[in-house]
Amino acid sequence: MKRKLFILALAVALACMFTVTGPASAKDLVKLSTCWMPEHELFFGWYAKEKGWDKEEGLDFELLYFESGMSQLEALPAKQWVLGATGGVPHVMGSLRFGAQMIGLGNNESFLNTVFARPDAAVVKTKGWNKNHPKVLGKPVDVKGKTFLVTTASSAHFAMTTYLKTMGLKDSDVIVKQMDQSSIMAAFDSGVGDFACLWAPYSYKAEANGWIEVSNVDKAGAALPINFVGDKDFCEKNPAIVAKFLRVMFRGINKLADEGATDENIKLFQRMYQEWAGMEYSYADAKKDIEMHPVWKLDQQLKIFNASNGESRAQTIERLIAELLLHANGRITDAELAKVTKGDWITDKYLKLVKTPIPPYK
């Protein structure tokens, strides 16, 4: 009898322990609509769902597909999503129009927002015309008046603008044709336009097609991140949930930061793109996608967002985006630039709320 009572008591104790330490039950989970594009930073949300990391924090991610950053931000007023990841350029517009908050960094995409020309174009014959940017191809006479295919108000548009700046030119000195990324690929392949402005993974296909990279954001001397973004009202009312979301993100960030392009991670990226976006990635492209998107861990991001001694590095990056792309080309007013420069939409308060240590990714 005593043995039966002991076994029963042990079973009850174990059940209670599981209840306390295990993931929240489905009915207790906080459902979060999150926005993503089919690119590198998607891994942090997708892999979290694969591993159930969101549920360990009492959350239930819904991963919503968007083709571009501006389409993400245009969906924000209707509250189609509350957290996610978007490009640094559309985020500036989102902060002005909708108060979208910058709550963290997804990756550095400066190396893969790129301007391409055809291999027989005159522009590819000149390298280092601007001595400050020795890796950039072309000279002003080969660029001025030419047609650029670009998704406007995007990271690829920033690549175009920074390229033009190395030539002493502005958007108004060239012909700008707005297209989504898929349309640019098809149009440029059929002979339309002189330059194609692309982000990854479309830039990988451009290289496979034999198109020549004339510049990218890094070569042109600028920087461009993917930002973790949040609806202002939601974030301010639910800071603990935002911090939990970021804690989940950092598990994936830590995995890529520590491991890099391992065979396992490359195959995970291939499966992610195929299953979530219907995109076929070669092993080599998936490898490059990981290698060419540096990420920052929590302690690094806290330093980047630190504004205790003036403008933070995060605020500087976004201000320069606003100045170089949007204000210089008449897309935002002086008053709007001043609002961006104030930088109060860029905050480290949620990063500071992230519970440490970050759980292991293995």
Q: Domains of the chain: which residue ranges? A: 29-108+225-353, 113-216
226 pLDDT tier (thresholds 50, 70, 90): very high
Fold for domain 113-216?
D-Maltodextrin-Binding Protein; domain 2 (3.40.190)
The pLDDT of residue 27 is 73
147-168: pLDDT as tens digits: 999 999 899 999 999 999 999 9
- Ranges 17-21, 191-195, 296-300, 333-337: which has the least confidence: 17-21
18 pLDDT tier (thresholds 50, 70, 90): very low
Confirm if 194 and 121 have CB atoms less than 8 A apart. Answer: yes
Residue 201 has pLDDT above 50, yes or no: yes
14 pLDDT tier (thresholds 50, 70, 90): very low
11 pLDDT tier (thresholds 50, 70, 90): very low
The DSSP-derived string for 25-65 is PGGG-EEEEEEE-SSTTHHHHHHHHHHTHHHHTTEEEEEEE
Tell me the β-bridge partners of 33. 62
Contacts of 248 (CB under 8 A, 6+ apart): 44, 48, 53, 54, 57, 59, 61
Residue 5 has pLDDT above 50, yes or no: no
Work out the percent of the chain whose per-residue pLDDT is above 70: 93
What radius of gyration do the chain's Cα atoms show? 23
Which of these, 148, 192, 154, 147, lies nearest to 67 by C-alpha position? 154
The angle, 0 to 180 degrees and rounded to 10, between the axes of the packed helices 155-166 and 88-98 is 110
175-178 vs 147-150, strand pairing mode: parallel
Question: Would you tell me how many other CB atoms lie within 10 Å of the CB of residue 190?
Answer: 8
75-133: pLDDT as tens digits: 999 999 999 999 999 999 999 999 999 999 999 999 999 999 999 999 999 999 999 99
Residue 16 has pLDDT above 80, yes or no: no
25 pLDDT tier (thresholds 50, 70, 90): low
225-230 vs 83-87, strand pairing mode: antiparallel
Residue 19 has pLDDT above 50, yes or no: no
- Do domains 29-108+225-353 and 113-216 share one topology? The answer is yes
Residue 13 has pLDDT above 50, yes or no: no
Residue 230 has pLDDT above 60, yes or no: yes
pLDDT mean across residues, the chain? 92
The pLDDT of residue 111 is 96
Of 3.40.50.880, 3.10.200.10, 3.50.50.60, 3.40.190.10, the CATH number of 29-108+225-353 is 3.40.190.10
23 pLDDT tier (thresholds 50, 70, 90): low
- Across 60-79, average pLDDT: 96
Per DSSP, the three-state class of 154 is coil
Tell me the β-bridge partners of 155. none
